[in-house]
């Protein structure tokens, strides 16, 4: 909690730039410098490493430094990859009705698959210290990420808190009716994912590392599918009537240094559910 955010990340969030938006801005600036720099923008993985300050070979290469310093006037590359300190010039004119409270909403997608096509899951959690997830079956993690890869992350120190909807709860039956399924259908899918998490991930770890995977079940009414990566990034989906979770609108939330309360709002929801959950 309270970790410092790099200037480059804070400035990108202030402009509400997704990865695709960042690349578009990059292209405009790169062509002004030298048309041969067209297409030189960082890849997905490199972009997210930059936001975390993971510069594996020191500074970005010279051409990239030139582009970055033109994209963010008044900031040197050294300053961009240092902890953010707000300046008076950082305040941007806001559109009517646009406040500061929710500027940590950095992406809105019509479905989960649309988000993952732009921001692959592995890039979000590859270097994570803590991944917290609550929802019905947690397909985003259990079905989209190989068991061996999750095991590798855990071995390297990543911790997981996984909160499923209790397959035998009344809340599960309510959700099955909402999605139009026969009783037991979603419960069965959730039981499979629970078994994977317990038997194919946690139980295969060395004894001293099994506590890095905490698993719980909740019997409370589902309102959101929440995945939180460290104290920084959230993937949020509402549970809608007559719609599967995978088809629901998906929101990417990234914690800001100043302003922005959405990340903390969903973090509080997760914490509240986790505190009342039955741990397995």
Per the confidence metrics, is the pTM higher than 0.95?
Answer: no
Contact at 8 Å (CB) between 266 and 228? Answer: yes
Contact at 8 Å (CB) between 80 and 73? Answer: no
Phi-psi region of 237 (alpha: psi -120 to 50; beta: other; left: phi over 0): beta
**Mean of pLDDT over the chain:** 84
Express each pLDDT in 99-122 by its tens digit: 444 557 878 888 888 888 877 887
Q: Minimal CA–CA distance to 174: which of 250, 241, 227?
A: 241
Residue 89 or residue 188, greater confidence: 188
CB atoms closer than 10 angstroms to residue 261:
15
Express each pLDDT in 232-261 by its tens digit: 889 999 998 877 777 889 998 877 655 557
Q: C-alpha 153: how far from its chain's center?
A: 16
Supply the pLDDT for residue 95: 37
Instruction: Scan for tokens 């088809």, then name that residue.
Output: 247
pLDDT category at 94 given cuts 50, 70, 90 is very low
């Amino acid at each position: 909690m309270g970790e410092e955010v790099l200037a480059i990340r804070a400035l990108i969030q202030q402009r509400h730039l997704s990865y695709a938006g960042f690349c578009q801005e990059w292209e405009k600036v790169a062509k002004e410098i030298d048309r041969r720099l067209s297409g030189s923008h960082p890849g997905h993985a490199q972009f997210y490493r930059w936001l975390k300050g993971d510069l594996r070979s020191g500074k970005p290469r010279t051409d990239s430094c030139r582009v970055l310093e033109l994209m963010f006037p008044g900031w040197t590359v050294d300053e961009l990859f240092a902890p953010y300190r707000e300046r008076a010039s950082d305040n941007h004119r806001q559109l009517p009705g646009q406040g500061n409270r929710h500027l940590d909403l950095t992406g809105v997608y019509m479905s989960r698959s649309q988000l993952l096509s732009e921001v692959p899951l592995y890039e979000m959690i590859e270097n994570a210290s803590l991944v917290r997830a609550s929802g019905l079956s947690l397909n985003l993690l259990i079905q989209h990420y190989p068991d061996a890869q999750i095991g590798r992350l855990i071995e390297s120190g990543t911790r997981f808190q996984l909160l499923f909807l209790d397959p035998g709860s009344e809340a599960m039956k309510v959700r099955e009716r909402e999605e139009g399924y026969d009783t037991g259908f979603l419960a069965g899918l959730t039981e499979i994912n629970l078994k994977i998490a317990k038997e194919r991930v946690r139980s295969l770890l060395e004894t001293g590392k099994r506590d890095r995977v905490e698993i719980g079940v909740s019997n409370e009414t589902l309102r959101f599918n929440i995945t939180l990566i460290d104290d920084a990034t959230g993937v949020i989906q509402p549970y809608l009537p007559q719609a599967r979770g995978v088809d629901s609108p998906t929101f990417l939330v990234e914690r800001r240094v100043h302003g922005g309360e959405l990340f903390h709002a969903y973090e509080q929801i997760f914490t509240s559910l986790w505190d009342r959950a039955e741990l397995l």
